[in-house]
Chain A
Amino acid sequence: MVKVKIWGSLAAFTDDQREVEVEASTLRELLQGLGTSYPGLKPQLERGVSVSIDGRIYNDSWFQPIEPESEVVLLARLKGG
């Protein structure tokens, strides 16, 4: 299981939990797991998110490995100018 920190306004869809656990070994499994376990997150997941894994931010790389002890943080999808 991987512990995932989510941002505060998403806690309304995770039973007020700011940290949830998901069975995942890759970024893709993580996103799928979040959507399955917490369907209320799906609209935001479909609009797009970024994910910090051990301090590095990933936007798209589905098969980025995630270790059980990794620090995983869900972030608003990054954009730039």
Chain B
Amino acid sequence: MALDSKQVLDTREFKVVGTRVLRPDGVDKVTGKARFGADITAPGMLVGLVLRSPHAHAKIKSIDTSAAEAMDGVHAVVTAADFPNIELDDFTADVRDNCLAGAKALYDGHAVAAVAASSNHIAKKALKAIKVDYEVLDHVTDVDEAIKPGAPVLHEGGGNESVPEGSSPNIMARYEFGHGDIEAGLKKADRVLERSYKTEATHQGYIEPHACLATMGPDGQADLWCCTQGHYMVRNTCAAILGLDQGQLRVTASEIGGGFGGKTTVFLEPVAMMLAKKSSRPVKMVMTRSEVLRATGPTASSSVDIRIGMTKDGRITAAAAELRYQGGAYAGSPVEFGAMSAFAPYDLENVQTIGWDVVTNRPKQAAYRAPGAPMAAFAVESAIDELAKGLGLDPLEVRLKNAAREGTVASYGPTYPAIGLEATLRTAKDHPHWTAPLGENQGRGVACGFWFNFGGDTCVSLNITPDGTVTVSEGNPDIGGSRASMSMMAAEELGIPYEKVRTIVADTGSLGQNEVTDGSRVTFAVGLATIEAARAAKREMCKRAAMVWGIEPEAVEWKDGAAHPAGPNAGTHPPMSLAEIAEIASNTGGPIAGHHEANPEGAGVSFATHMVDTEVDPETGAVKILRYTVFQDAGKAVHPDYVEGQFQGGAVQGIGWALNEEYIYGEDGVLQNAGFLDYRIPVASDLPMIDTVILEIPNPGHPYGVRGVGETSIVPPLAAIANSVSAASGVRMTDLPMSPPKVLKAIQDQ
């Protein structure tokens, strides 16, 4: 029997939360009035442009900027030598080197210098006048090639203490997780599958390119406007690199045209600030699409070896994976999360994952929705599917038989509390999609996925205005509907209509530290802080009503948007509404507000199951997505439209990753497809309506049962689509993307 929302949800009845209210940013966005990063202007501003390496790997022997600096209209030229000589931690030092190359250019497109000029035309001419003396070095862009003996080395001695002696110098770290005895477990299996899988690097593909505007006065005070997933992160990183006090730099986040993890770091911002400092003028920088693809973070590419043993009745006896991820030219591919999440959906006695973090001459990877997990799930879920079908078993039943449940020791170590994987599988099995007929050259695939979610530093300030409306200030750019969700939770808690609350994203001078909008954290953590801020305001309003009534504050309770006398000695005063209390606030102690600052932990893990039908054209290898259904545990869905949008968005990005998207490098190490004509993301005409089933299994760590939903939905699609295409084509697909030439070749070679 399927579990639907009502069967699994056991929390309170909501009035606002759970409804589909109008989004507050909708009108501005559809009428073009919303101000994105590139829309910000300032009087006297200059245009900043970046000179980028044409080589995949080269020593920078010298940079001569004198001719550029002498040009009329050029106000500043900067290179890495202009950054103050500050000792930084390894992570921030890499970010600085990625913003402007130091000793070496490490990939095609690596920034080496920047100019600020009075026009775009002059800035372009100035870039051409900069003379860089490169010593071109051998390069490597493939993860498996990079760890072979004799491969070009990016950073001698760059690996950390986890890397075994004698390993390739391009290995930066090694991770190992698991428990039990793999070899003993494999001996108990009736069938053992050993298979290798590869995925290509894909870009987050946000529509809005990176953009910022920087000012920096002679008094050391600076302002920065930018599109980012975390303006506090931008402030802290820029302050560290430039040697500023964090309090002197105010960062304001613009509207954001997508991020998906790719805007959780900085690329332009420290450079714009240096140009602004050197020129004493505001400097605006906007990337082209080509720059976005060449020089901002795609995700890692991967190469994964799997060994899984299964009994005839579908029980997995042992499961092992060795994962190699290249994260571009710097340490930090998300391979540890691939290794932790690979087998997380399953209850396994014997499990081991080993992850290798590898560097290559590619752009520094940036987080991309559930970083590292989709590639691992592609390999694991493909292997389970192949084993199940080879044994004549139902792939959903096999997953149910092995599903992790409350009490399962996860492959990455902890024992699970109550989790929702089984609910997604049972709901999928009972859904009409699972038994719908398929035609010729059509196939159906399923796969599961897992992600962690977390909380992080969070501040919310909630103000009661004199007319009884409410403003909420949060410190996280609204990338997935947080202004609506926060307004809804504030309205719910205060007992007032949603329309009476407006939420804004405050600048870094207005609130304390806020973690980046990532990790599917905002609805959970900022929501929690919003509820607590509203509760603080309610306590104050009860106190004000008590003053008016001449009773103790403890004798007042808040319900339905008003203070009510409660208890035997409270009297029979008529309720005072929020608006009535707000109107007399000046007479009862002054303005009323609530705020909450915290680092909420306990976000709760999340699971999903995806089901997809595809049709493969045997003449061309083209794949068409016919039908797609997402089943995911969302905790309480605050705004179901946004939750469905997250599910659909993850599925669609997964479709692109599975079928078409890839970074294609030439033999010279130069990116061949740095534009959306050649780097093909899915468009509406490629897609059916993505159906969604929201399972509301409350998260006990949140007052309303909310858990993160933004990332898990990109974990299963790669494997679900590969399983579907493999069924439709009759040949197992193990390399992504499954582009038409690759599928056609696989069909012809079988």
Residues of A within 8 A of B (CB): 5, 7-10, 12-13, 18, 40, 43-44, 47, 50, 52, 54-61, 64, 71, 73-76, 78-81
Asked if residues A81 and B175 are in contact (CB atoms below 8 Å), the reply is no
Give me 14 other A-B pairs in contact (C-beta within 8 A), A7-B412, A8-B354, A59-B454 excluded: A9-B176, A9-B354, A40-B161, A44-B162, A52-B413, A55-B416, A56-B602, A75-B340, A78-B337, A79-B334, A79-B518, A80-B453, A80-B519, A81-B261
B520 close to A7 (CB less than 8 A): no
Contact flags B672-710 to A (C-beta < 8 A → 1, else 0): 000000000000000000000000000001000000000
Which among A43, A50, A73, A74 is the interface contact of B161 at CB below 8 angstroms?
A: A43
Contacts of B416 in A (CB 8 A): 55
Per the bound structure, the CA–CA distance linking A76 and B340 in Å amounts to: 9
Q: Which of chain A's residues have a CB closer than 8 A to the CB of B264?
A: 81
- A-contact bits for B341-377, CB 8 A (1 contact / 0 none): 0000000000010100000000000011111000000
Which of B162, B370, B601 interacts with A80 by CB under 8 Å? B370
Residue contact A80 to B454, C-beta cutoff 8 Å:
yes
* Interface residue total, chain B, C-beta cutoff 8 A: 48
B384-442 contacts to A (CB < 8 Å): 412-417
Asked if A55 contacts B415 (CB within 8 A), the reply is yes
A22 → chain B closest CB, angstroms: 16
| Number of A-B pairs, beta carbon distance below 8 Å | 110
Asked if B260 CB lies within 8 Å of chain A CBs, one says: yes
Cα–Cα, bound, A9→B167 (Å) = 14
Q: How far is the CA of A54 from the CA of B521 in the complex (A)?
A: 21
Answer yes or no: B11 CB below 8 A from chain A CBs.
no
The minimal Cβ–Cβ distance linking A36 to chain B, given in whole angstroms, is 17
A-B residue pairs in contact (CB < 8 Å), sample of 7? A43-B161, A47-B160, A56-B602, A56-B701, A73-B413, A80-B519, A81-B262
CA separation between A74 and B415, bound complex, in Å? 13
Which B residues are CB-close (under 8 A) to A50? Answer: 454
Would you call B412 and A75 a contact (CB within 8 A)?
yes
B456 within 8 Å of A (CB atoms): yes
- Provide the bound-state CA to CA distance between A52 and B531, in Å: 26
Q: Which of B161, B177, B368, B414 contacts A81 (CB under 8 A)?
A: B368
Q: Is B662 an interface residue (CB 8 A)?
A: no
Rounded to whole angstroms, the CA-CA distance of A65 and B90 in the bound complex is: 31
Q: B371 and A7: CB pair below 8 A? A: no
Taking a contact as CB atoms under 8 Å apart, the answer to whether A8 and B177 are in contact is yes
Q: Does B336 contact A (CB under 8 A)?
A: yes
**Inter-subunit contact A57/B602 (CB<8 Å):** yes
Complex alpha-carbon distance, A8 and B320, angstroms: 13
A31, B396: Cα distance in complex, Å: 41
Contact of B711 with A by CB under 8 A: yes
Q: Does B235 touch A at the CB level, under 8 Å? A: no
Cβ of B162: which chain A residues have Cβ within 8 Å of it? 9-10, 12, 44
| B177, B204, B370, B520, most chain A CB atoms within 10 A | B177
**Nearest opposing residue in chain A for B406, CB measure:** A55
Contact B370 A59 (CB under 8 A): no
Task: Give the residue name and chain of the A residue nearest to B175 (CB).
Answer: A9
Q: How far is the CA of A43 from the CA of B417 in the complex (A)?
A: 31
Shortest CB-to-CB span from A80 to chain B, Å, is 3
| Chain B residues, CB < 8 A from A59 | 454-456, 599, 601
B369 touches A81 (CB 8 A): yes
Supposing A57-B452, A75-B413 touch, asked if A80 and B178 sit within 8 A by C-beta, the answer is no
Q: A residues within 8 A CB of B453? A: 80
Assembly CA distance A37 to B260 (angstroms): 40
Interfacial chain A residues near B369, Cβ < 8 Å: 81
Q: Which residue of the partner chain B has the closest CB to A13? A: B161
Given contacts A7-B177, A57-B601, contact A78 B414 (CB under 8 A): no
Q: What 0/1 pattern do residues 446 to 460 of B give for CB contact below 8 A with A?
A: 000001111111000
List B158-193 residues whose CB lies under 8 Å from chain A: 160-162, 174-179
In the complex, which residues of chain A have a beta carbon less than 8 angstroms from the beta carbon of B452?
Answer: 57, 78, 80
Answer whether residue B603 sits at the interface, using C-beta atoms and an 8 A cutoff: yes
- Complex Cα distance A45/B456, Å? 18
Check A43–B160 contact: CB distance below 8 A. yes
B413 neighbours in A (Cβ, 8 Å): 5, 7, 52, 73-75
* Bound: A74/B175 CA distance, A: 13
**In the complex, residue of chain B having the shortest beta-carbon distance to the beta carbon of A50:** B454
Residue of A nearest to B91 (CB): A47
A60 touches B260 (CB 8 A): no
B601 contacts A79, C-beta separation under 8 Å: no
- Taking CB atoms, residues of chain B closer than 8 Å to A54 are 415
CA–CA, A14 and B512, complex, Å: 39
Taking CB atoms, residues of chain B closer than 8 Å to A57 are: 414, 452, 454, 601-603
* Cβ–Cβ < 8 Å partners of A64 in chain B: 601
* B455 partner residues in chain A, CB cutoff 8 A: 59
Q: Which of A18, A52, A57 has the most CB of B within 10 A?
A: A57
Is B417 in contact with A80, judged by CB distance below 8 angstroms? no
Residues of B with C-beta under 8 A to A80: 261, 367, 370-371, 451-454, 518-521, 711
Do residues B174 and A9 form an inter-chain contact, with CB atoms below 8 A? yes
B519 touches A79 (CB 8 A): yes
Identity of the chain B residue whose Cβ is nearest the Cβ of A61 in the assembled complex: B601
Chain B residues, CB < 8 A from A76: 175, 336-337, 340
> Contacts A80-B521, A81-B367 hold; do A71 and B415 have CB atoms under 8 A apart?
yes
- List B residues 259-274 near A (Cβ within 8 Å): 260-262, 264
CB of A5 to closest CB in B, whole Å: 5
Among A44, A61, A75, A79, the residue within 8 A (CB) of B599 is A61
Q: Given the complex of chains A and B, what is the CA–CA distance between A44 and B162 in angstroms?
A: 9
Please, which residues of chain A bring their CB within 8 A of the CB of B519?
Answer: 78-81
**Are A81 and B370 in contact (CB-based, < 8 A)?**
yes
Q: How far is the CB of B467 from chain A (nearest CB, A)?
A: 39
Find the B residue at minimum CB distance from A46: B89
B:237-272 near A, CB below 8 Å:
260-262, 264
Complex Cα–Cα for A59 and B600 (A): 10
B204, B367, B599: the one contacting A60 at CB < 8 Å is B599
Residue of B nearest to A41 (CB): B161
What are the interface flags for B145-166 relative to A under an 8 Å C-beta threshold, 1 for contact and 0 otherwise?
0000000000000001110000
CB distance from B709 to the nearest CB of A (A): 12
User: What residues on A are CB-neighbors of B415 within 8 Å?
Assistant: 54-55, 71
Closest A residue to B178 by beta carbon equals A8
Which residues of chain B are within 8 angstroms of A61 by Cβ–Cβ distance? 599, 601
Taking the nearest CB of chain B, how far is it from the CB of A46, in angstroms?
9
- CB neighbours of B456 from chain A (8 A): 59-60
Which single residue of chain B is at the shortest CB-CB distance from A56?
Answer: B602
Alpha-carbon gap, A4 to B206, bound state (A): 41
